[in-house]
Amino acid sequence: MGVRLAAHHEVILDSINEGVFTVDLAGQVTSFNRAAEKITGIRRGDALGHPCHEVFRASICESACVLKQTLRTGEPTVEATIFIVDAGGEQIPIKISAAVLRDRHGQAIGGVETFQDLRQIEALRKQLRQSLTIEDIVGRSPAIQDLCELLPQIADSDSSVLIEGASGTGKELVARAVHNHSPRRRRRFVALNCAALPDTLLESELFGYKKGAFTDAKRDKPGRFAAAEGGTLFLDEIGDVSPAMQVRLLRVLQERTYEPLGSVTPVRANVRVIAATNKSLTQLVREGRFREDLYYRLHVIHLQLPGLRDRREDIPILLEHVITRFNRLQGKDIAGVSPEVLALLMEHDYPGNVRELQNIVEHAFVLCHRGPIERKHLPVYLRGQLPRVPGEESGATNLASVARAVIAGTLRQHGGSRTLAARALGINPSTLYRKIKAHKIEAPETDGRGRRRRATAKR
């Protein structure tokens, strides 16, 4: 009966997601559940009968062992955070609770400790705390590689930056990366969407106001320039700012001073301005809708972000990046995407750019619980059938579609130069030529040097 009861208790302990172990009064491990094995990497047989400090090698074992303290005082310990070292030598953050084990007569016979693996939680906290870096700009296309090479140099300067690109291309991501690699990184990065506010509110948001400046101004309120003092102010959708507000922004950029509403005393502004727009400011200047002098103040450094359709070779690596992030955030283990889904995503035009790709993956995560993402997990508008090549199996067709899209996109990126495209793809130019022929890819009419290709006779 005693053996059966012990086995029953073991089954119960093994069904618990938290690590659980018990010790006798001498500190020897007397039970060790399956979750404890998984977290520590130590097998039950190697733990039983050994002093717990030899098993866990925790940060407090020698100086302030929680179990020893609990056994000595009789008081439980609740949710203390410590580090242990697992079987592979990795330091693991855990949250522990400990209590005294007593027999039916109330006599202490040992102690029990439960512990929770905090690695995933710590990873999420780190993700929230961690500043964005250039490594967060994901891609291997020439446009992204060139951008990543330029960003450290741009970050080191203090000049204004204008970022142009369609919605969803990651303009704020780039702005944050510039800030976080700059000497201003220890001060704030403040963002404001200029299109979201009417002029009167935008003025007070940017420059703040003094008490009594208007009816509801009961106290002084600092603006975004004051909040970003010593740091970076990111002005998104700068192309939607009115002519009157453009004049005020021009003065700040020229004189490095501004006046809060209701004040006549200029305030110095030590702020780097990074502006972004999904419009062509050059065109707006031509149309007289944007001041030319402000344009040149903002246009000291200019970055043009490509749409996702213009860097299709980045789609697989972006998918991997986004799926990894959602796996971590949602505690799932989705194994990438099926070849059919990859082909569909490679051929999509992405009017919403990278943001749309992220939304597609998030939608798929709601419907997909395990294995790879399949076509049925995609939003309805993406579930169309792929063109089928007669005589080819579905998987082969999908992989061919992926290869065709990557090669065609790379050729476009390099203006038709097969040499540069082959180098970007990591293959020999003759191999690229064969793949162009095999996949019936229409190469650009120019060869990358502005010259038209001569027609070649069919063999």
Q: Is the confidence at residue 283, as pLDDT, over 50?
A: yes
Q: Note the pLDDT of residue 458.
A: 37
| Beta strands, E only, 298-396 | 301-304
Helices (H), ranges, 331-428: 339-347, 353-367, 394-413, 418-425
Query: Same CATH topology for 2-117 and 310-438?
Result: no
Q: Is the confidence at residue 281, as pLDDT, over 90?
A: yes
Distance between CA 443 and CA 397 in Å, rounded?
20
**Domain 2-117 belongs to what architecture?**
2-Layer Sandwich (3.30)
Distance between CA 155 and CA 272 in Å, rounded?
10
CATH class label, 131-306: alpha beta
Secondary structure of residue 38 in the 3-state scheme: helix
Task: State the fold for domain 310-438.
Answer: Helicase, Ruva Protein; domain 3 (1.10.8)
Q: Note the pLDDT of residue 7.
A: 58
What phi and psi values does residue 50 have, to the nearest 5 degrees? -105, 150
Per-residue pLDDT band for 73 (boundaries 50, 70, 90) equals: confident
Residues contacting 36, CB < 8 A, separation 6+: 19, 20, 21, 42, 44, 47, 115
Q: Note the pLDDT of residue 201.
A: 85
Q: Is the confidence at residue 101, as pLDDT, over 60?
A: yes
Tokens representing 330?
Answer: 């949602």
Q: Note the pLDDT of residue 155.
A: 93
Secondary structure of residue 333 in the 3-state scheme: coil
Residues contacting 24, CB < 8 A, separation 6+: 30, 109, 110
Per-residue pLDDT band for 363 (boundaries 50, 70, 90) equals: very high
Q: Note the pLDDT of residue 392.
A: 41
**For 291-326, how does the pLDDT look when each residue is reduced to its tens digit (9 = 90+)?**
999 999 999 999 999 999 888 888 988 998 899 888
Q: Note the pLDDT of residue 125.
A: 54
Q: Is the confidence at residue 391, as pLDDT, over 50?
A: no
The mean per-residue pLDDT over the stretch 127-152 comes to 73
Q: Tokens 């403040």 map to which residue?
A: 190
Q: What is the DSSP letter of 305?
A: P
Q: Note the pLDDT of residue 156.
A: 93
Per-residue pLDDT band for 87 (boundaries 50, 70, 90) equals: low
Q: Is the confidence at residue 453, as pLDDT, over 70?
A: no
Per-residue pLDDT band for 78 (boundaries 50, 70, 90) equals: confident
Return the minimum-mean-pLDDT range out of 74-83, 264-273, 447-456.
447-456
Q: Is the confidence at residue 446, as pLDDT, over 70?
A: no
Nearest to 141 by CA among 304, 307, 312: 312
Where is mean pLDDT largest: 247-256, 341-350, 393-402? 247-256
Return the minimum-mean-pLDDT range out of 116-120, 170-174, 279-283, 325-329.
116-120
How would DSSP label each residue in 420-458? HHHHHHTS-HHHHHHHHHHTT----SB-SSSPBPPP---
Q: How many residues appear in the chain? A: 459
Domain ranges of the chain: 2-117, 131-306, 310-438
Distance between CA 166 and CA 279 in Å, rounded?
7
Q: Note the pLDDT of residue 130.
A: 42
Q: Is the confidence at residue 362, as pLDDT, over 80?
A: yes
Return the minimum-mean-pLDDT range out of 6-10, 29-33, 454-458.
454-458
Q: Note the pLDDT of residue 115.
A: 85
Whole-number average pLDDT of the chain: 81
Per-residue pLDDT band for 390 (boundaries 50, 70, 90) equals: very low
Q: Is the confidence at residue 286, as pLDDT, over 90?
A: yes
Q: Is the confidence at residue 131, as pLDDT, over 60?
A: no
Q: Note the pLDDT of residue 44.
A: 87
Q: Is the confidence at residue 150, as pLDDT, over 50?
A: yes
| CA distance to 40, 110, 150, 367, 455, per residue, from 144 (Å) | 41, 60, 10, 32, 33
% the chain with pLDDT above 90? 33
